[in-house]
Amino acid sequence: MDIDAVKSSYARWAPIYDRTFGAATKAGRLASVDYLNRHAGPDLLEVGVGTGLALPLYGADKQVTGVDYSEEMLAKAAARVKDERLTHVAGLRQMDARALDFPDASFDAVAAMHMISVVPEPERVMAEMVRVLRPGGVLVVTNHFARDTGGLARIERFMAPFANVLGWHSDFDKTVVTGTPGISLRETRALPPVGMMTLLVLERTPVAAASAATG
Torsion angles phi and psi, residue 94, rounded to 5: -80, 125
**In the prediction, which pLDDT does 122 show?**
95
Q: What is the pLDDT of residues 176-186, one digit of tens each?
A: 999 999 999 99
Q: What is the pLDDT of residues 117-154, one digit of tens each?
A: 888 899 999 999 999 999 999 999 999 887 554 445 44
Residue type, 138: V
**In the prediction, which pLDDT does 196 show?**
79
Q: What is the pLDDT of residues 39-91, one digit of tens each?
A: 999 999 999 999 999 999 999 999 999 999 989 989 999 999 999 999 999 99
**In the prediction, which pLDDT does 144 show?**
87
What domains does the chain contain, in order, with CATH numbers? Answer: 3-214 (3.40.50.150)
The more confident residue out of 121 and 8 is 121
- Per DSSP bridges, beta strands 197-204 and 183-191 are antiparallel
193-199 CB contacts, 8 Å cutoff, 24+ apart: 193/27, 196/144, 197/25, 197/27, 197/28, 197/114, 197/142, 197/143, 197/144, 198/142, 198/143, 198/144, 198/145, 198/174, 199/28, 199/31, 199/32, 199/35, 199/140, 199/141, 199/142
